[in-house]
Amino acid sequence: MVAIHPTALVEPGAELAEGVSIGAYTIVGPDVRVGRDTSVGSHTILEGWTEIGADCRIGPHAIIGAPPQDVKYRGEPTQVVIGDRTLVREFATIHRASTGGSGVTSVGPDCFIMAYAHVAHDCQLAERVIMANQASLAGHVEIGRHAVIGGMSGVHQFVRIGEYAFLGACSGVLQDIPPYVKAQGNRAKPFGLNVVGLRRHGFSVEAIHALKQAYRILFISGLNTSQALAQLEQELSGSPEVQRFVDFVKRSQRGISK
């Protein structure tokens, strides 16, 4: 059974799966698909080519699927895709993609987008990302799984933040933040390994020790990035976590925050 409040507007063509509930004064556009058992709060707008997974919770006054804030956009059928069990709180905004990327803004599954947060066009958020209140991502940002973005932080377009990274509140991020690292500030700088987060997620003592060594070599040793990567691959090549750390840094286009 689908529950639609009498004041809500669900346009013809919208697809609502079994168990969906739509709150008061909410608008659902004709190209929107909402998955099973998802609830949508009051005064929310779901528009554009938007697909929301199963068992999501969308808060009141959220806007999902609005056109990208890109002057080149001319109404092309780009998408927003949100994975299962993701929570989007009140007044959060998630924009559909522009034509200059993959064509999809992707969030989820199991993400938590808190109140007033903003996910811009073409962003790619892996599973279990947390964005705290008023955190904002510019276009084409990539966030790895289990990363945490602190409240009132701003992330520059095309920046990448690695898996299990932790970004402190009120940060301005202009360059990539490697996996497993804590960073904070305007402009954001690393200040250690996210040891608490790694322990909470069951990383072994050996993995954490290897990552601590990798952090020291890259950020504290005084070596330049190329020299540090060479040393890491020579000394810590047996650690899969360190290898992901190295691979992330190698792929950086904007450089890493130091």
- CATH 3.40.50.300 applies to domain 3-140: no
The answer to whether residue 121 is catalytic is yes
Q: What is the model's pLDDT at position 100?
A: 83
pLDDT > 70: percent of the chain = 100
Inter-residue contact 50 to 28 (CB < 8 Å): no
CA–CA gap between residue 53 and residue 41 (Å, rounded): 15
| pLDDT above 90 (res 213) | yes
**Choice among 139, 144, 150, 151 that is catalytic:** 139
- The distance in angstroms from the start CA to the end CA of the chain is 53
Report the chain's C-alpha Rg in angstroms: 20
Give the number of other CB atoms < 10 A from CB of residue 224.
Answer: 9
- Distance (Å, whole) CA 35 – CA 44: 16
Q: Which of 121, 140, 146, 156 is catalytic?
A: 121
pLDDT value for 238: 87
Q: Would you give the DSSP letter of residue 170?
A: T
- The whole-number pLDDT of residue 64 equals 98
Is residue 204 scored above 90 in pLDDT? yes
Which among 174, 214, 175 has a CA at the least distance from the CA of 194? 214
**Overall average pLDDT of the 113-135 stretch:** 98
Task: Give the pLDDT mean for 19-43.
Answer: 98
d(CA 105, CA 47): 13
Structural tokens at position 187 = 């402009």
The full set of domain ranges for the chain reads 3-140, 199-250
- For 63-112, the pLDDT digits (tens) are 999 999 999 999 999 999 999 999 999 999 999 999 988 899 999 999 99
**Per-residue model confidence (pLDDT) at position 210:** 97
31, 70, 110, 122: the active-site residue? 122
With a cut of 90, say whether residue 36 has pLDDT above it.
yes
Q: Are 94 and 105 in contact (CB under 8 A)?
A: yes
pTM: 0.96
Can you tell me the mean pLDDT for 230-251?
A: 95
Region 192-217: mean pLDDT is 97
DSSP label at residue 220 = I
Mean pLDDT value of segment 222-230: 96
So what's the pLDDT on residue 201? 97
**Third-level CATH fold of 199-250:** Udp N-acetylglucosamine O-acyltransferase; Domain 2 (1.20.1180)
List, for residues 40-72, the tens digit of each pLDDT value: 999 999 999 999 999 999 999 999 999 999 999
What would the two tokens of residue 207 be? 């993995």
Is 48 in the active site? no
Q: Over 90: is that where the pLDDT of 237 sits? A: no
Q: How would residue 226 be classed by pLDDT, with cut points 50, 70 and 90? A: very high
Q: How high is the pLDDT of residue 101?
A: 85
∠ CA 110-115-121, nearest 5°, is 70
Cα gap 76→125, rounded to integer Å: 22
Partners of 136 in the β-ladder: 118, 154
